[in-house]
């Protein structure tokens, strides 16, 4: 029979078991954290009607989406988790309780040009808090504090959550008489880090006909730097000239204060007036997250406050705030930067039990007892040489091997070998689980990410 070459598509990440355990470590840290803050997991279909996913339409979305027909249906794969959330909340509005806190970790699809570190199938991890009609400002501080906890839980420490408020920006541009150009200006300013201030100025004056004086004012404004206190003080100088600006400043001050109360250290969040987020629908606080030692990576977690989650599906105003992590890309970047901990436990089992008698009963009953005690135990009874059996445990990184031969069974003992230290001890079966767990529990508290 002719064989078909087994391979995955370009842009589709597939992990070997040990890396998969690390990836799982990341998603588990996220799930655990999100749960602690009262978020419910939801799960929406990967396929939806194209008319629903493309309700907003335009831009890269239409070009990149995986769209196809099945029978008479015009279908597409979701390209983010926000549109499905909007559809979910509009559809199930009557059965949900607001504010509705949900998290979703799932795959999304974008047929981007394949290039290193870009994926066509990738996991996003999203949290959102949706209000019915209104939503308190405290949620805009809690969201980044959850992200702080989540990254900390993973072991990431060298990161900075940068925040801004869209009302400050739109208010400021209105002050300059540029309200109608605010969107274009923000998208241009968003590129500041990439292209530098001179190019930003050129685009503003040349492409968008911003007066040179106004362009200079904009560049001065976004150049305001310093501690959060310094920036808030500098912004206070503009107060009283535009209502939206004033409201934005109040919100930013409140979010900054709450973030500290939520326990986010001052060196992990910073007001940054250059952050705008390209998307139109943000209306309040916006977030980006940078890896301090790897600015080239760009934002690893972004989001913000919006006024109308589901305007394409319902007349109901559903304001909310949310944030999204591109998990697959983050995992790739962490690996690429050498930040995935080699010590993170990624063996499939804690103990490999090697029976050395024909009667398997003692080995099986030990395995059953260990599992009841929460120890991941695998029986190994393949027809191999002893050395190969030990090599199996070694290759998989299984930390303990348990040998059960006639002598051990006769003595009512099991021989427990620590594969790391080489130490071997004879123990009564009921003492084995405790001994193993003493070692694995220490390892389990390890973090997926290690920055040296």
Residues 294-313 binding a second copy (CB under 8 A) are 310-313
Instruction: Please state the closest distance from residue 235 (CB atom) to a second copy, in A.
Output: 23
Residues 98-127 binding a second copy (CB under 8 A) are 99, 101-102, 107, 109, 111, 121
Structure tokens at 84: 């499905």
* Strand positions, DSSP E, 99-201: 100-109, 121-130, 159-165
Task: Establish if 332 lies at the interface with a second copy (CB under 8 A).
Answer: no
The burial of 138, by beta-carbon neighbours within 10 Å (0-12 exposed, 13-18 middle, 19 or more buried), is given as middle
Crossing angle of the two packed helices 212-222 and 192-202, in degrees rounded to 10: 160
Residues 134-173 binding a second copy (CB under 8 A) are 134-136, 138, 142, 149
Task: Establish if 48 lies at the interface with a second copy (CB under 8 A).
Answer: yes
| Of positions 349, 402, 416, 436, contacts a second copy by CB under 8 A | 349
Contact assessment for residue 43 and residue 53, using Cβ atoms and an 8 Å cutoff? no
- Choices 63-71, 221-229, 292-300, 333-341 (CB under 8 A): range interacting with a second copy: 63-71
- Choices 168-176, 286-294, 337-345, 392-400 (CB under 8 A): range interacting with a second copy: 392-400
Task: Establish if 61 lies at the interface with a second copy (CB under 8 A).
Answer: no
CB closer to a second copy out of 84 and 304: 84
- Choices 10-18, 209-217, 330-338, 399-407 (CB under 8 A): range interacting with a second copy: 10-18
Half-sphere exposure of 42 (CA within 13 A, CB side): 23
CB closer to a second copy out of 310 and 334: 310
**Nearest of 99, 88, 128 to residue 323 by alpha carbon:** 128
Instruction: Please state the closest distance from residue 124 (CB atom) to a second copy, in A.
Output: 14
Instruction: Please state the closest distance from residue 74 (CB atom) to a second copy, in A.
Output: 11
Residues 188-207 binding a second copy (CB under 8 A) are none
CA atoms of 452 and 158, how far apart (whole Å):
10
CB closer to a second copy out of 263 and 278: 263
CA atoms of 47 and 49, how far apart (whole Å):
7
CA atoms of 417 and 424, how far apart (whole Å):
4
Please report, for residues 281, 387, 449, the alpha-carbon distance to residue 255 in angstroms, rounded to integers and kept in the order given.
19, 61, 28
Instruction: Please state the closest distance from residue 161 (CB atom) to a second copy, in A.
Output: 17
**Helix ranges (DSSP H) in 238-360:** 243-261, 327-336
CB closer to a second copy out of 265 and 348: 348
CB closer to a second copy out of 3 and 220: 3
Instruction: Please state the closest distance from residue 349 (CB atom) to a second copy, in A.
Output: 4
| Of positions 57, 68, 157, 386, contacts a second copy by CB under 8 A | 68
The gap from C-alpha 379 to its chain's centroid, in whole angstroms, comes to: 36
Task: Establish if 440 lies at the interface with a second copy (CB under 8 A).
Answer: no
x/- track of binding to a second copy for residues 251-270 (CB under 8 A): -------x--xxx-------
Is 36 strand, coil or helix?
Answer: helix
Task: Establish if 444 lies at the interface with a second copy (CB under 8 A).
Answer: no
Angle subtended at Cα 331 by Cα 165 and Cα 23, rounded to the nearest 5 degrees: 120
Task: Establish if 317 lies at the interface with a second copy (CB under 8 A).
Answer: no
Task: Establish if 238 lies at the interface with a second copy (CB under 8 A).
Answer: no
**Nearest of 105, 117, 108 to residue 297 by alpha carbon:** 117
| Of positions 66, 208, 238, 281, contacts a second copy by CB under 8 A | 66
Task: Establish if 342 lies at the interface with a second copy (CB under 8 A).
Answer: no
Instruction: Please state the closest distance from residue 143 (CB atom) to a second copy, in A.
Output: 12
Task: Establish if 5 lies at the interface with a second copy (CB under 8 A).
Answer: yes
Question: How crowded is residue 236: how many other Cβ atoms within 10 Å of its Cβ?
Answer: 12
Structure tokens at 279: 């998307």
Cis omega (within 30 of 0) for bond into 115: no
Task: Establish if 344 lies at the interface with a second copy (CB under 8 A).
Answer: no
CB closer to a second copy out of 46 and 356: 46
The burial of 63, by beta-carbon neighbours within 10 Å (0-12 exposed, 13-18 middle, 19 or more buried), is given as exposed
Residues that bind a second copy (rule: CB under 8 A) add up to a total of 97
| Of positions 227, 357, 365, 424, contacts a second copy by CB under 8 A | 365
CA atoms of 90 and 262, how far apart (whole Å):
31
CA atoms of 451 and 445, how far apart (whole Å):
16
Residues 22-41 binding a second copy (CB under 8 A) are 23-24, 35-41
Contact assessment for residue 341 and residue 450, using Cβ atoms and an 8 Å cutoff? yes
């Amino acid at each position: 029979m002719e064989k078909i070459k087994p391979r995955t598509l370009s842009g589709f990440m597939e992990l070997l078991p040990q890396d998969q355990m690390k990836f799982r470590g990341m998603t588990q840290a996220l799930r655990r954290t999100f749960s602690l803050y009262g978020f419910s997991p939801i799960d929406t279909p990967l396929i939806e009607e194209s008319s629903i996913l493309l309700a907003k339409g335009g831009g890269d979305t239409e070009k990149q989406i995986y769209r196809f027909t099945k029978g008479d249906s015009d279908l597409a794969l979701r390209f983010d988790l926000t549109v499905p959330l909007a559809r979910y909340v509009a559809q199930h509005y009557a059965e949900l309780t607001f504010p509705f806190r949900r998290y979703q970790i799932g795959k999304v699809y974008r047929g981007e040009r394949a290039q290193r570190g870009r994926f066509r199938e990738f996991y996003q991890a999203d949290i959102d808090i949706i209000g019915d009609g209104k939503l308190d400002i405290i949620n805009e501080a809690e969201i980044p504090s959850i992200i702080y906890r989540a990254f900390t839980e993973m072991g990431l420490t060298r990161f900075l959550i940068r925040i801004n408020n869209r009302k400050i920006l739109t208010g400021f541009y209105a002050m300059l008489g540029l309200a109608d150009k605010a969107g274009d200006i923000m998208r241009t300013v968003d590129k500041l880090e990439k292209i530098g201030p001179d190019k930003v100025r050129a685009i503003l004056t040349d492409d968008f006909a911003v007066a040179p004086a106004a362009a200079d004012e904009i560049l001065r404004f976004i150049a305001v730097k310093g501690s959060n206190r310094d920036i808030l003080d500098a912004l206070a100088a503009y107060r009283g000239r535009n209502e939206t600006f004033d409201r934005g400043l109040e919100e930013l001050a409140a979010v900054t204060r709450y973030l500290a109360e939520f326990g986010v250290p001052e060196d992990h969040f910073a007001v940054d007036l250059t952050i705008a987020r390209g998307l139109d629908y943000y209306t309040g606080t916006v977030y980006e997250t940078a890896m301090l030692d790897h600015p080239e990576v760009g934002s690893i977690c972004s989001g913000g406050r919006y006024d109308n989650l589901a305007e394409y599906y319902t007349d109901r105003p559903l304001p909310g705030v949310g944030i999204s992590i591109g998990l697959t890309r983050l995992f790739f970047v962490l690996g690429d930067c050498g930040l995935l901990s080699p010590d993170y436990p990624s063996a499939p089992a804690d103990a490999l039990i090697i029976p050395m008698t024909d009667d398997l009963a003692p080995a099986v009953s030990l395995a059953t007892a260990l599992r009841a005690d929460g120890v991941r135990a695998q029986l190994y009874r393949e027809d191999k040489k002893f050395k190969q059996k030990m090599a199996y445990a070694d290759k998989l990184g299984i930390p303990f091997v348990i040998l059960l031969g006639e002598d051990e069974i006769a003595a009512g003992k099991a021989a427990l070998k620590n594969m790391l230290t080489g130490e071997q001890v004879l123990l009564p079966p009921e003492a084995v689980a405790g001994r193993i767990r003493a070692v694995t529990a220490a390892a389990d508290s390890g973090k997926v990410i290690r920055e040296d």
